[in-house]
Amino acid sequence: MRRPLILDAARTPFGRYRGGLSGVRVDDLAALPITELLRRHRFDPARVDDVVLGNSNGAGEENRDVGRMAALLAGLPPTVPGVAVNRLCASGGEAIVQAGRTVAMGDGDLLVAGGVEGMTRAPFVVPRPDRAFADRLEPVSTALGWRLVNPRMPAEWTVPLGRAAEDVAVGLGITREQMDLYALRSHRRASAAWDAGVHDGFAFPVQLPDGSAVRRDESVRPETSLEKLGRLASAFSAAGPVTAGNSSPLNDGAAAVLVGTEAVAAELGVAPLAEILGSAVTAAEPHRFTLAPVTAIRKLLTRLRVTPEDVDLWEVNEAFAAMALSVLHHLPEVDREKVNVHGGAIAYGHPLGASMPRVVVDLCRHLRARGGGLGVAAACVGVGQGLAIALRV
């Protein structure tokens, strides 16, 4: 087996819902970080063995296999194939895992992996009527959450994700104040990271047709405070602790990484960001999806024969503060000061297909800034799954 390496990575800033990137088609958005990687590295693009992109929607402008469409739009030769993968919030992580396996097995030497989501541009769909000449057609938004739910699904499985996260957290005794404090931590750390140039060399500006540019993640709120967060209304129940302020927002964004062999790294003259050591995916009841990362992390560490104390840094995708705190509640061995050291998705945003590539690459870069080590990236997944990926820098 060969060592699969993350050679380099690029991402757009994550735009707010209806924000700076909302005018960019989703397939064009997906192509942007691939184009950026091609600009940075002067190699024959025909040698890319495959493009693997995660995307959770697949119903809008990205519907015709966004991996293939992005490859063509980025200027890769028509001979380079592409594929889209969907594991909802962990789709981009799954893409990186699949690319790593391809390299490890010797089925490819250089791949592009990553993900995209344009949540602003997610379309409405109209289901086909059961009979001809229906009296009414009802459009369904594809932006987020359960849609066209199968009536055979138990009702408790199909509650909104925020309500499910809330129920688990409340059952663990996690309070509104703890969630708001966690959200405040995320925004403060993310804002400080941008100011300190932590994301330089990964996030690149996106030029818009009107001459303006999106240069930073638009959902980071340096001005927020515990008082402001405390005034926000409950989002998913009458008086529940989960609010818009302690949840990740809806976003538009794309990310891509180069995954290849040591020989390719030497040829390109790059110092790899990290080695992909392994991954684990697990599942739980859909309404307990926030706890699936716990079992994925434990399964992965068992396979690697390491303990949580051996892990130098953690990146856990913050779908909700309720979710992140629920995971940490079940992993008391984890030093919280090693988790999301520069903030997380509550601040940066959560463009579903692009979220986990951001988490993975941030982990690699933050480890490198600290001299290397072992890192674990994890994400919860709607419909009750969790994905964890181990990397060594």
Which residues does the annotation mark as catalytic?
89, 350, 380
Three-state SS annotation for the chain: CCCCEEEEEEECCCEECCCCCCCCCHHHHHHHHHHHHHHHCCCCHHHCCEEEEECCCCCCCCCCCHHHHHHHHCCCCCCCCEEEECCHHHHHHHHHHHHHHHHHHCCCCEEEEEEEEECCCCCEECCCCCCCCCCCCCCEECCCCCCCCCCCCCHHHHCCHHHHHHHHHHHCCCCHHHHHHHHHHHHHHHHHHHHCCCCECCECCEECCCCCEECCCCCCCCCCCHHHHHCCCECCCCCCCCECCCECCCEEEEEEEEEECHHHHHHHCCCCCEEEEEEEEEECCHHHHHHHHHHHHHHHHHHHCCCHHHCCEEEECCCEHHHHHHHHHCCCCCCHHHECCCCCHHHHCCCHHHHHHHHHHHHHHHHHHCCCCEEEEEEEECCCEEEEEEEEC
